[in-house]
Chains A and B, each alone.
Chain A
Amino acid sequence: MSEAHRFGSGPVQAAGPWSRYLFTGAVVVLCLWVLVPIYLLLVNTLSSPEAVATYPKRALPEFDTQSLAFFMNYAGVGQALWNSIKVATVTMILSIGAGAPAGYALSRFDFRGKDTFRVLVLMTRAFPLPLLALPLAVLYIRIGLDDSILGLALVHTTLALPFAVLITFSLFSGIPIELEEAAWTLGCNRFQAFIKVILPLVLPGIAASAIFAFVISWNEVFAAAVLTIEHRTLPAFLLQGLAESPLHLKFAGGAVLVLPALLFIFLVRKYLFSMWGIANR
């Protein structure tokens, strides 16, 4: 509420008390929408199997780490986590490496087929992965990319690329071309102008779209389950069996899957805020 006071003269206040209650209410509902499931997940993760199976549910965890300990000792979890991080990092680098130049080109140049290109970029999301996985796997086995971090990262890059292109396109479009032109008149060539003037301005946004690529890769299961066997990513490794495991292990497994991603988002949150135009605090 202190925030609301500080911005007391903003549009929210001006619209009268009712809309302020409505606004606060909506904020509370949205926060609960996200936090309650995570809270329940954590409570059940930290409860004993017996407590998980009984009703009514406890409101506070008992701090029983039995279920979590199972996953800590589960053969291959650490390796799978490491694989996930590697694949997601490579995906992040590749999708920004290819996506940011494409976004720049889309916003700065006019060329034939520009609109078609923008639609085509989106088309990569139009084909369901289960359909593509078979021919891809056959191809990968033949050319030796099978069961490798790079091979899977290439698939994930394809999935993340449309977002990388479209996000960076709008970032570059938001920066007046006059800034670049001014740099050119002062002796920069196109590349120098980009590095010295444009890049510092869009860097937070690029970081945000990189995070997006990371999350897309982190969450993808089907391609990972078919294209990797010995180098499985965490979701592919755990989700295969989790749906059929006892309830307390489902909760603990869910937490194992969610926590690293939450932690990552928390660490990089200021870049996400900058993508949405909220100032760093």
Chain B
Amino acid sequence: MIIKKNTLAAALATGITLLAAGAASAEVLFWSTQARPVEEAQAMRDQVLSGFSGDVDFQPSENGPWLTRVDAETQAGSGKIGVLGSLHGNLISLSDNLADMSDIGVDGVNSAFLELGKLGTDQQKYIPWMQATYIMAANKKALEHLPEGADINALSYDQLIEWAKTMAEKTGSPKFGFPAGPKGLKHRFFQGYMYPSYTNSMVTKFRSPEAELAWNKFKELWSYTNPGSPNFSFMQEQLLTEEVWVAFDHTARLADAFNTRPDDFVAFPAPAGPTGRGFMPVVVGIAVPDTAPDMAESKALVSYLLEPATQIETLRATNFFPVVDVELPDDMPAAVRMSGAAIATMSGSADANPGLLPVGLGDLGGKFNAVYVDSFERIVLAGQDVRTVLDDQADALRKLMEEAGAPCWAPDVASEGACPVD
């Protein structure tokens, strides 16, 4: 028993020493939900943040712990986190506890993104940090099955379906892949790609006849889609194993395929539908919480992250593109060159129809995504009647929009008050 007591005392002493050591460090804690994959985190530390004048402790974290920790520090009124890095959707729910960053120089930063960063207030709640979007990728073996006369840089959804069908028939197994897995970003496809392409809307025309057509088209595509798709979350994996030849996903989730075997893959824009080529830019922001231990140092880090040279290093590290005007050097990784070209073609195409990330939903963002994911699961996976499901889900969507009181965002026409669901 005496031994046990001593060990206990030693343990207590260790705990207290560690406490003291923790309080003494003057690093800026960078608490991020981005650059989570271990290689990206390593590159953030070694290549991006090492150039900052002070010390930075970069800690990537999953959404759950990330948000819980920030909430805890806010409620406790003091904390260790110096800088927050996360998606627009996550930062919205923290709006009341973010410091105003209007005093940070933002020359050359994309003005539409800056406006998003105000989160509907007159303060600069977050500053855009980097951006990405979703594109298509194909194994070069798939190209010979392209429908006659189809231009890969100007595909339509009908051509994509035909392509997927030909591949399935010629090779004996479905070769189109879709990230419908638990961590897959399928909801962004429906919100930012399918709906804008077929209805020129994301919310208002949710249950329109055009939307019904879109879902039926998607069901058709699904019949030529790799049946493993409900398990796929990072299409780079299935592209590399060649389980899948053609796929839709986030640029950062295709990067490994492009970088590993740049000569075997092509990147190309998302297809177009009757109302244009819908696509969704993704904005990642940086913010400083009110409880930051050293406000000046935190803001200095934010400024540093906006410098063109840092933005280019960040692109190398994470495959997320700069939000400031920069001249990209020639020696960028393959994924950056390939996705960059595809994004430029997509956003520069005559029929481009960008759909923004949800604005003004506050912490209802998760429920908003659930409307689209539930529709997908009921219509496509469970085979329920499209009309019935859309009517059901439209009620849920309407209730949610009214609860949030959020006006419409692109491509829906701006509205007075809550965005209507027809």
Give A contacts to B, CB under 8 Å: 49-50, 53-55, 70-71, 74-75, 86, 89-90, 93-94, 97, 130, 133-134, 137-138, 141-142, 144-151, 153, 195, 222, 225-226, 229-232, 236, 238, 240-247, 249, 253
Contact = CB atoms under 8 A, between A and B. Distances in A.
A130 B80 CA distance: 20
B19 A229 contact: no
Contact of B39 (A133, A232, A245): A245
Interface in B55-90: 57, 59-62, 64-65, 68-69, 71-73, 75-76, 78-81
Contacts of B46: 75
Given A53-B240, A148-B18, A225-B61, A246 B68 contact: no
Contact of B57 (A90, A230, A241): A230
B18 A231 contact: yes
Given A54-B241, A89-B11, A240 B69 contact: no
Contacts of B65: 133, 222, 225-226, 236, 240
Contacts, number: 137
A226 B234 contact: no
A10 B371 CA distance: 62
17 contacts: A54-B241, A86-B14, A90-B11, A137-B76, A138-B76, A141-B79, A148-B22, A149-B18, A150-B18, A222-B65, A225-B65, A229-B81, A230-B22, A240-B61, A244-B183, A245-B39, A249-B37
Contacts of B234: 244
B38 interface: yes
Given A90-B11, A94-B8, A244-B36, A144 B29 contact: no
Contacts of B166: none
A240 B45 contact: no
A253 B42 CA distance: 14
A141 B62 contact: no
A141 B61 contact: no
* Chain B facing A: main interface SS: helix
B412 interface: no
Contacts of A54: 241
B197 interface: no
Per CB-CB distance, the 10 closest pairs between chain A and chain B, nearest first, are A150-B15, A137-B72, A225-B65, A141-B76, A53-B240, A245-B37, A241-B36, A90-B11, A244-B37, A241-B38
Contact of A138 (B75, B183, B237, B242): B75
A101 B207 CA distance: 64
A96 to B, nearest CB: 8
Nearest to A55: B241
A93 B7 contact: yes
B242 to A, nearest CB: 8
B178 to A, nearest CB: 18
A136 B319 CA distance: 36
Interface in B1-50: 1, 4, 7-8, 11-12, 14-16, 18-19, 22, 25, 29, 31, 36-42, 45-46
B201 interface: no
Contacts of A245: 37-39
Contacts of A86: 14
Given A54-B241, A94-B8, A134-B72, A249 B260 contact: no
B287 to A, nearest CB: 17
Contact of B38 (A53, A145, A249): A249
B236 interface: yes
A222 B64 contact: yes
